[in-house]
Amino acid sequence: MLNDEYFILVHLNPTTEGVTIPEHLKGDPSVTLKLSQHFRGRMHLTQNKIIAELLFQGNYFDCHIPLDAIWGCSTETDKNHVWPESMPENVVSQLISDNLEIIETKKQASEITPSAPDEVEEAEDTEKNFKQRGHLRRVK
């Protein structure tokens, strides 16, 4: 994936054993890092982790990202890959909550509000008037 794109966004679970990232990011439940072979810092891919020298607040930091810590990748061309088994619990909970809200909104939008009886009678009367009167008129 990295070979085909200028950069990728790697979404990772910072609590996974072996993750080394700057201290200020460790408290976040999910961290997204931008990786590119075009960055100045070195990057090395192994069988089980990514080691990337990334720039944070003007200083380079050696990030160690075990592959099992990565729960998703996104590209600039909207290619996305997700590994749900590696997702932090709070990310899974948020996705479920967001999807339930979407489903509830769609359900409410699809429910038809019944018309009041007076409105139905008026609509029927109007329809009868159109039928009684011809729709063509004579033009002189």
Same domain, 102 and 57: no
Residue 8 one-letter amino acid: I
- 3-class secondary-structure state, position 50: strand
Same domain, 51 and 64: yes
By the 10 Å C-beta count (0-12 exposed, 13-18 middle, 19+ buried), 43 is classed as middle
Residues 122 and 128: their CA atoms lie apart, in Å, by 10
- Indicate the pTM of the whole model: 0.63
Same domain, 64 and 99: no
Q: Is residue 136 part of a domain?
A: no
| Domain tally, the chain | 2
Which one, of 25, 20, 78, lies nearest residue 51 by Cα?
20
Structural domain of 118:
88-129
Q: What is the pLDDT of residues 74-85, one digit of tens each?
A: 888 888 888 878
Q: What is the pLDDT of residue 67?
A: 92
Same domain, 81 and 22: yes
Same domain, 34 and 82: yes
Same domain, 53 and 103: no
